[in-house]
Amino acid sequence: MSHKINHANIKEWAANYDGPLFDGILCDPPYELGFMGKSWDSSGIAFDTDMWADLFKLVKPGGHLLAFSGSRTYHRMAVAIEDAGWEIRDMIEWVYGSGFPKSLNIGKAVDKIQGKEVTTTYEPNYKNDKFGKGLGGGVTDNTPSDNEYDGYGTALKPAHEPCVLARKPIEGTVANNALKYGTGGLNIDGTRISTTENRSRDNSKVAPDTFFGGKKRINQVIDNTGRFPANLIHDGSDEVEAVFPNDNHRFFYSSKSSKSERNAGLEGFEEQFAPKGNNEGRDMSNPKNHMGGMQGSKMSNFHPTVKPLSLTKYLATLIKPPIGGRLLVPFSGSGSEMIGALQAGWEYVEGVELTEEYIPIAEARIKHWGSKPVQGALL
């Protein structure tokens, strides 16, 4: 297995690429939310049909594309991908319980306009969930509002991220396409959800017994390979499992990336502030809004949107061809999708990243995780 990371604008790189075709694409593009005023999250690249069309040309017929987006902007990305020629096959939902609500308290805002004193304090929360991940803290409004907008806000608690599953149209039948290009299918058995319950299934057929009379079973096969992979993935949190009582093993689970996972292999790297969240309704001129659970903390891997490796490995396994495979990872960031693909056994993984300072982080993380198994995945 080998890899390469290109420092380039993905649109320019894809338009000028002249190498071998890829078997698939796995990526986490900008969600186009204007994150903290960053230009990379408001460029419109994720909605650029021409960019997705150029990527379309780099993939074999039947090759799959997996691309994450935000709940408010997914539709625009999905339409751009479809308009570029891809077939939308499904939408995968990554559901989690640790999202932090970023809603403006309208009642408090009205109080300020009316000249009333509003007191806020920062309340840290050092409680860990069952995966040992600190949930952070937040800004709490302590003074009650007495206007009619008390209790009104502007946003819901974020609890999921959608991922488009698309495919380049096949040539002929799926079977013929698979024989010719090695692509077209999803690795169903490779991503089944393991379970401790007995799920043996008898696939035999009943046929007449011409010798003894009556009926007999033929081609009897016992199937206990695990649950069929679903288009829902969850983080295993108590909050999410409460929605699926007694069914927590029906779906693959992947908790959010822990601080130890995202920083592994980066010993000696300078720590920088790693923000998180989209800050809708927050006054970012207030330093209290840059603390703890609101905006993260200093760390070596300061990329703001690090996906968990168990999730990226699972998704990379889902679209991997049975033999070898060349995977393209646009917007490769700090390397999570590339690590997941290499752990899943892709023969060659190529990344493209615009922000140069993330590339050394990605290389160091790939080196670290190259000889270590990803933990926490039902895989």
Specify the pLDDT at position 209: 47
Using alpha carbons, select from 160, 169, 180, 183 the residue that is nearest to residue 69. 160
Predicted pLDDT at 174: 97
Give the end of a domain, one of 204, 227, 250: 227
Q: Does residue 69 sit within a domain?
A: yes
Q: How far, in Å, CA of 46 to CA of 52, rounded?
A: 8
User: Which tokens hold the place of 153?
Assistant: 């806000």
Containing structural domain, residue 219 = 195-227
Query: What's the pLDDT score for residue 250?
Result: 82
Tell me the sheet residues that pair with 128: 134
User: Mean pLDDT across the stretch 368-375?
Assistant: 77
pLDDT digits (tens, 9 = 90+) for 337-351: 999 999 999 999 999
Is the pLDDT at 369 greater than 50? The verdict is yes
Q: What band does 376 get if pLDDT is binned at 50, 70 and 90?
A: low
One domain, residues 245 and 353 = yes
Residue 154 falls within a domain, yes or no?
no
Tell me, yes or no, whether 118 and 91 share the same domain: no
> Taking each helix axis from N to C terminus, what angle separates 309-318 and 336-344, rounded to the nearest 10 degrees?
50
Mean pLDDT over 248-271 rounds to 85
Residue 276 has pLDDT above 60, yes or no: no
Give the pLDDT score at 118.
Answer: 74
Residue 317, pLDDT score = 97
User: Is 146 contained in some domain?
Assistant: no
Instruction: Tell me, yes or no, whether 263 and 329 share the same domain.
Output: yes
CB 104, CB 154: distance < 8 Å: yes
218 shares its domain with 302: no
Read off φ and ψ for residue 347, nearest 5 degrees.
-70, -35
Cβ neighbourhood burial of 130 (10 Å; 0-12, 13-18, 19+): exposed
Name the more confident of 170 and 295: 170
User: Which pLDDT score is estimated for 284?
Assistant: 32
Asked whether the predicted pLDDT for residue 375 surpasses 70, the reply is: no
Q: pLDDT at residue 277 above 60? A: no
The larger pLDDT score, comparing residue 101 to residue 275, is at 101
Q: In terms of domains, do 57 and 37 share one? A: yes
Of 362, 352, 349, 334, residue with least CA distance to 9: 352
- What pLDDT is stored for residue 294 in this prediction? 39
Task: Clarify whether residues 339 and 306 are in a common domain.
Answer: yes
Report, as an integer, the average pLDDT of 55-80.
97
pTM over 0.95: no
The pLDDT value recorded for residue 38 is 64
The pLDDT, as a whole number, for residue 75 is: 96
What is the total count of domains within the chain? 3
- Reported as a single tens digit per residue, the pLDDT across 144-172 is 788 999 999 999 988 999 999 999 999 99
Q: Report the CATH number at residue 309.
A: 3.40.50.150
- pLDDT single digits (tens) 197-253: 554 555 555 555 444 445 544 454 445 578 899 999 998 888 888 877 666 578 898
In a domain, residue 7? The reply is yes
Tell me what pLDDT residue 370 has: 83
Contact by Cβ (8 Å): 214, 235: no
Q: Are residues 247 and 312 in the same domain?
A: yes
Token pair in block for residue 124: 């840290």
Mean pLDDT of 286-295: 37
